[in-house]
């Protein structure tokens, strides 16, 4: 066995690795179950030789054992999002040519709907007997493919992002070092496990360190606040929408209960926000409630984490920090005037200028599965990954302005950041949520357009909002088109799906 995170687990054999709704599990118990799963997968084989194994397993000890069992067997672990509709599961099955799906029984209903049932072996996690056989397992080189995570698909059909064991190790170790993980840590993990945020940042960093990872499969603000104030939890990670819901829940509590939470949350040493832009107002409110400044970082499925605010030191609202150890970063020029999507020019911009963030390092993924054309388009000739995100540096600290393809709006000859406008709009007391996009317009090229979810009892309308916005924004950044909606479309990570926002405007104004 040469997969380091698994071999390290034996160091912590009797320590609690996982707490989930079914109980507490030691590292030794996780390894035993992983071994049993490996036995089931290998059967008469000696090596899966990078065969894709899909799994639809709830967050908890069985998820980890399944992932590790696949790796121990030489397979590629492919987690299926628990929220995926059957069409997306079919896409993943077809794309990976998978013949095996490991599943928790509660997902049998949706899996019974996928096509080509007779070609797939379904392995029920409740029917895997723990064994201690000493079957010889393959030696796994770090260069072998380990995992495929399908992108959230906020723009096009999800792509399979392939990472090797070396990539995953690099993603883990840079965070363990920078955020000073130890075996005494206890993280509360409420994140979905089909995304790097929940898998690597929270779960695998914890297991690498010999810490305890406690799972709450469902997002329940009352349970989360209870866990955060129990004096055991030391780390917590969430996406901005989760923090906003937790803040809203806290604000609705009686003052006595609010004080209890605030007074009992001191044991937490680190709380992290990522996967979407964190509004300054959210950061400010969270600080008032918990006396903790959220640590913002930057990463994506293809690279793990690349930038982070410091564990110790000032964390600047709206900024995502500096490069993590082992990660190389540059900002390059980009052609926004291309007839198609913005085109990377791969030439570094002068200091102080905005451009595309590009990343290089062992943390960067290997390829897009079964998609060599997209892989080629995503890397420069000298091997830098083109993130598609626009960034700038101020006083050595990086700031993300948004996706080049959807968050940079070309209006009236100016280029503006949708994120910047969203930050401002969210400071209005009657706006609960908002999303800003550029909509094609004969006069402006693209019209700045805002979809809003209003607070209850709000009387805000287009005229009132524009008049208010003119006191906060330069004229060309003031929304031209405004749509008031009940809710904003989001993916499983809580990120707003902006192409769907554009569709909403098209239906309304066309």
What pLDDT score was predicted for residue 1?
53
* Residue 195: partners with Cβ closer than 8 Å, 6 or more residues away: 149, 152, 275, 301, 492, 493
What pLDDT score was predicted for residue 134?
58
What is the distance between the alpha carbons of residues 74 and 133, in angstroms, rounded to a whole number? 17
Q: CA quadruple 353, 355, 357, 360: dihedral positive or negative?
A: negative
* Residue 333: partners with Cβ closer than 8 Å, 6 or more residues away: 345, 346, 347, 348, 349, 353, 355, 356
What pLDDT score was predicted for residue 156?
62
What pLDDT score was predicted for residue 443?
81
What pLDDT score was predicted for residue 277?
81
What pLDDT score was predicted for residue 152?
63
Spatial CA neighbour of 59 closest among 236, 230, 203: 203
C-alpha count within 13 angstroms, C-beta hemisphere, residue 97: 5
What pLDDT score was predicted for residue 205?
98
Whole-model pTM over 0.75: yes
DSSP symbol at 321: B
Q: CA quadruple 472, 477, 479, 485: dihedral positive or negative?
A: negative
Which residues does the chain have with pLDDT short of 70? 1, 130-135, 152-156, 337-341, 510
What pLDDT score was predicted for residue 493?
73
List helix spans (H) across 51-151: 61-72, 86-96, 108-111
Radius of gyration of the chain (CA): 23
* Residue 450: partners with Cβ closer than 8 Å, 6 or more residues away: 421, 425, 434, 435, 436, 465, 479, 481, 482, 483
Distance of CA 429 to the CA centre of its chain: 28
What pLDDT score was predicted for residue 186?
97
What pLDDT score was predicted for residue 338?
59
pLDDT digits (tens, 9 = 90+) for 42-96: 988 889 999 999 999 999 999 999 999 999 999 999 999 998 889 889 999 999 9
Domains of the chain with CATH codes: 4-165+188-202 (3.40.50.12780), 410-509 (3.30.300.30)
Phi (first) and psi of residue 477, to 5 degrees:
-95, -10
Phi (first) and psi of residue 61, to 5 degrees:
-65, -35
What pLDDT score was predicted for residue 311?
95
Helix (H/G/I), strand (E/B), else coil: 397: strand
Spatial CA neighbour of 218 closest among 248, 261, 189, 247: 189
């Amino acid at each position: 066995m040469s997969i380091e995170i698994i071999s390290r687990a034996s160091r912590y054999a009797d320590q609690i690795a996982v707490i989930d709704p079914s109980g507490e599990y030691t590292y030794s118990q996780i390894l035993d179950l992983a071994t049993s799963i490996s036995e089931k997968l290998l059967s008469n084989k000696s090596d899966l030789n990078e065969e894709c194994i899909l799994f639809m397993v709830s967050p908890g000890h069985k998820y980890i054992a399944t992932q590790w069992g696949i790796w121990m067997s030489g397979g590629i672990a492919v987690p299926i999002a628990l929220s995926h509709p059957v069409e997306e599961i079919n896409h993943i099955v077809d794309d990976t040519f998978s013949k095996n799906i490991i599943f928790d029984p509660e997902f049998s209903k949706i899996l019974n709907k996928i096509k080509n049932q007779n070609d797939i072996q379904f392995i029920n996690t409740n029917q895997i007997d723990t064994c201690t056989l000493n079957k010889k397992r393959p030696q796994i080189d770090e260069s072998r493919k380990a995992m495929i995570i399908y992108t959230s698909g906020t723009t096009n059909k999800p792509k399979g992002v392939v990472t090797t064991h070396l990539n995953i190790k690099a993603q883990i170790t840079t965070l363990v070092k920078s955020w000073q993980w130890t075996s005494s840590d206890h993280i509360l993990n409420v994140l979905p496990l089909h995304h790097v945020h929940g898998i690597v940042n929270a779960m695998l960093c914890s297991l690498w360190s010999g810490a305890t990872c406690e799972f709450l499969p469902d997002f329940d603000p009352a349970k989360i606040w209870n866990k955060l104030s129990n004096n055991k939890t030391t780390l917590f990670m969430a996406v901005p929408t989760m923090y906003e819901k937790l803040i809203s829940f806290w604000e609705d509590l009686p003052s006595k209960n609010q004080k209890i939470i605030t007074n009992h949350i001191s044991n937490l040493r680190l709380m992290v926000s990522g996967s979407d832009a964190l509004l300054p107002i959210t950061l400010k409110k969270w600080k008032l409630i918990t006396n903790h400044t959220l640590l913002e970082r930057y990463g994506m499925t293809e690279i793990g984490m690349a930038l982070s605010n410091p564990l110790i030191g000032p964390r600047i609202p709206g900024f995502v920090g500096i490069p993590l150890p082992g990660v190389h970063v540059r900002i390059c020029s980009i052609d926004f005037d291309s007839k198609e999507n913005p085109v990377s020019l791969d030439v570094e911009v002068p200091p102080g200028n905005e451009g595309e963030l590009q990343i290089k390092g062992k943390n960067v993924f290997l390829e897009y599965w079964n998609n060599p054309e997209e892989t080629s388009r995503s890397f420069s000739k000298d091997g830098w990954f083109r993130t598609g995100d626009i960034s700038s540096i101020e006083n050595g600290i990086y700031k993300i302005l948004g996706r080049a393809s959807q968050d940079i709006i070309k209006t009236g000859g100016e280029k503006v950041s949708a994120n910047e406008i969203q930050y401002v709009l969210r400071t209005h007391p009657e706006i609960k949520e908002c999303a800003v996009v550029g909509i094609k317009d004969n006069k402006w090229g693209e019209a700045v357009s805002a979809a809003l979810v209003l607070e209850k009892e709000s009387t805000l309308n287009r005229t009132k909002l524009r008049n208010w916005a003119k006191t906060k924004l330069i004229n060309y950044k003031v929304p031209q088109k405004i749509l008031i909606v009940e809710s904003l479309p989001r993916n499983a990570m809580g990120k707003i799906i902006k192409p769907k926002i554009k569709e909403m405007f098209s239906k309304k104004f066309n």
